[in-house]
Structure 1
């Protein structure tokens, strides 16, 4: 199992400089790791075995397996209810005619690719923000995120940072707006991902998790397993070939899909995960709107970030700054050593008041 998930351990590395927030990391780090790990898991035959095994007389098993894997299998929705082993051999399986409704399952060849594609889409806002950010915060921090810095070095770097901030005051709005756009993209992406998976699974995903939850609370003899409906373990597959006299012969086979044991659990987890991520991303947007619209909220947050600094100094800076300047100061506070950040806030407040810091 370590061989499967060991390849994603590089994604767990922490960045030296923090340029975003926890909700942002929930998208490009946690969700990407989960999706890539699932993509690797569904391709690991040593844990699942062959993804499909078909039973039919008159056709070699390897030929039938390949044919049914390529052309998809089907179940009968009318045979989902009934006592297994008495009314039906398996959920969704039974005798059928051409008039019977068939539900074809074509997704299983593509699950690993779709999961990987989704991981890429969750990383896109992060890629855009890193491209737009261009290492600006790393350059501004000037290694002041280390608690042990030579006094002369610390003073010179603080002076450089204060000089930069004073000379570029009110010029950081575009920097902040780009980050806010990426936050919006995160929210839009997770919503679109939910509907994309719904389309991919035949419009069964949006209610899949809730149906699985409800299924566990129903009486065993009356419930229909939604996981068997979306991810059947046994399906049917029809193969045609020429007989000895040249007539077309039809072979009706049963196919076992061991991979669906994993798929059903993956998509139950993803249903709950996407809902949680979407809710938290929506709340993050509400928070962001409050930050943009309220100077009082920004003052309170900056005070919390610079908790060691003098509150009056923070208020002076907050009055002089625009939203972009405030955003840069907040990121600096996340990256700089608290005591150094306190001194920087004090020096910056003095400069903004027309005084010369020591």
Structure 2
């Protein structure tokens, strides 16, 4: 008889884990309190940029991100083949720009460690930079070009994961409320307020920004808090040509999708579970955007939205079994990297269910590492 695995949470991490588990022959049920992909996953810009978003010398978290980036080409092909759906996966590379001569030493330091960790990164200046990306402001002093980075269109990727799960036989139950679980005789039961009961041999919690809140209801404490990320998008009909790369600076990022829409982010603040958009947050983005791309001066975003990013104290996710509940696993707290980390998290969670030994670096993400994960 197949082992029955319940996955609590239908965001990108939960769906990716369910997809991988079902691919390995497990009987999987996804339990979602809203609609699949309805929170941070569907709101993400979809950047796969571990080099550009890592501002310090690489650590275990960077290693996790790089591992996932390297999995992506084969992973996205498999998701498309199984689901029968397509989604944008663009190997655009990225430019990390600086404006001042004083920033050049730090940029060179970034180039050196990126090359040490497998990138062919190089610094572009003057004509070489503006020939590669003509739309950039001439105030830009230089940029670090990282060819290995890419991006996906997150809403379509999440839909493909959901359809792939269904085709693999995953049961997806949505619009559930007040989920509670209990271990009984070596199995785990999850109950919803409407009386629905789901049983399985193991439970994987992937509830994103709600993991801390939900986990308290479940009898454990998880140090995850929501960080609101605000994003906006512009039409680009007025551009002489499209933006060819993802563009990062110390203040934000720009990424152009196949639709032509230019996605810009991200303003961050702590607002609890309030996912509303604020004028202050979007206005800050607009100021950053026109500094990077003068063509945006005077342009108004046609779309504005926000998502709640699940952040831990150190910015790295919690992935592992709960110390006092051996049939319960946690995969949450991916902060702004849920889309990027979905393949490697799926692999790690499925390996845990298989009983395989995880890589040594995975110990850096154990759920109890803060010393605050205790039974209530």
TM-score (norm 2): 0.24
Larger radius of gyration: 1
Higher strand share: 2
Higher helix share: 1
